[in-house]
């Protein structure tokens, strides 16, 4: 049976996806590249560097390395200005209940995020203590859909990938979990996450019974 749970951060625990969207949209528009929700969907779970590369590709633009770095810094600055206004209220519905249930029942829990700002965000919303381990964008060299971030989480938790359950809101993240043969749970719009083993609109739909179903699931 399953022993460990790995949570993505953006779009699963907190809705920082909307902040990434605002900051990327402003950046893209400053380069005369159009940017809608549809493009944003493809950036979910994708690292900062890869995201900017994708935007430039969509706009058929090449820029100097210097400009590239300054755009990334500017995007992050704007993003953090939104993040720094976050509080407990920004935790998505049902997340705290699930984390409390997992903790009370001594399940292992890790964070597996592409974000280099993951620790800052967890601090802001007061969720640090729920995680036995945190793996974020500072610790991985291969971005999602590569499973490195989740495999590191399993290593730290001391469980086999097949005994891990991953909660993800992004196509790249579901792909990563599936590649590593973990149980993949899509959070959010099902049509975006067709490859997931399970799909839920959000954690409000997840109760103790659901958790047991996930634990007993064999891929």
Task: Return residues touching Mg ion (CB under 5 A).
Answer: 8, 10-11, 45, 169-170
Residues 139-168 that bind ligand G16 (CB under 6 A): none
Candidate list 54, 74, 116, 119; residue touching ligand G16; CB under 6 A: 116
Provide the 3-class DSSP secondary structure of residue 168: strand
Q: Which of 71, 137, 193, 199 binds ligand G16 (CB under 6 A)?
A: 137
Q: Is 196 helix (H, G, I), strand (E, B) or coil?
A: coil
DSSP structural state of residue 14:
B
Give the nearer residue to Mg ion in terms of CB position, either 45 or 161.
45
Query: Whose CB is nearest to Mg ion?
Result: 11
Residue window 62-91: x/- pattern of binding to ligand G16, with contact defined by CB under 6 A: --------------x---------------
137 makes contact, choosing from ligand G16, Mg ion, none, with CB < 5 to 8 Å by partner type, with: ligand G16
Pick from 5, 6, 45, 125 the residue near ligand G16 by CB under 6 A: 45
Q: Based on the residue annotation, tell me whether 155 is a catalytic residue of this protein.
A: no
176, 143 in Cβ contact below 8 A? no
Give me the sheet containing 133-135, strands edge to edge. 133-135, 108-112, 4-7, 164-168, 183-187, 198-200
Stretch (H or E) spanning 108? strand 108-112
Give, as ranges, the residues between 169 and 198 that touch ligand G16 (CB under 6 A): 170
The answer to whether residues 44 and 176 touch, using CB atoms and an 8 Å cutoff, is no
């Amino acid at each position: 049976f399953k022993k460990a749970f790995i949570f993505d951060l953006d779009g699963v625990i907190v809705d920082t996806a909307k902040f990434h969207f605002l900051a990327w949209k402003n950046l893209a528009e400053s380069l005369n590249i159009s940017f809608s929700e549809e493009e944003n969907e493809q950036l979910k779970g994708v690292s900062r560097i890869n995201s900017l590369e994708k935007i430039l590709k969509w706009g058929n633009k090449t820029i100097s390395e210097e400009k590239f770095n300054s755009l990334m810094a500017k995007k992050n600055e704007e993003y953090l200005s939104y993040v720094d206004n976050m509080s407990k209220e920004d935790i998505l519905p049902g997340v705290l209940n699930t984390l409390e249930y997992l903790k009370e029942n001594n399940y292992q829990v890790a964070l597996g995020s592409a974000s280099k700002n993951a620790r800052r965000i967890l601090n802001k919303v007061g969720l640090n203590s729920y995680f036995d381990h945190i793996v974020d964008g500072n610790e991985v060299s291969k971005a999602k859909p590569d499973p490195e971030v989740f495999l590191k989480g399993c290593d730290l938790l001391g469980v086999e990938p097949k005994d891990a359950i991953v909660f993800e809101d992004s196509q790249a993240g579901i792909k990563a979990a599936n590649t590593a043969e973990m149980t993949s749970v899509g959070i959010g719009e099902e049509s975006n996450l067709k490859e997931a083993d399970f799909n839920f609109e959000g954690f409000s739909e997840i109760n103790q019974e659901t958790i047991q179903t996930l634990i007993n699931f064999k891929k």
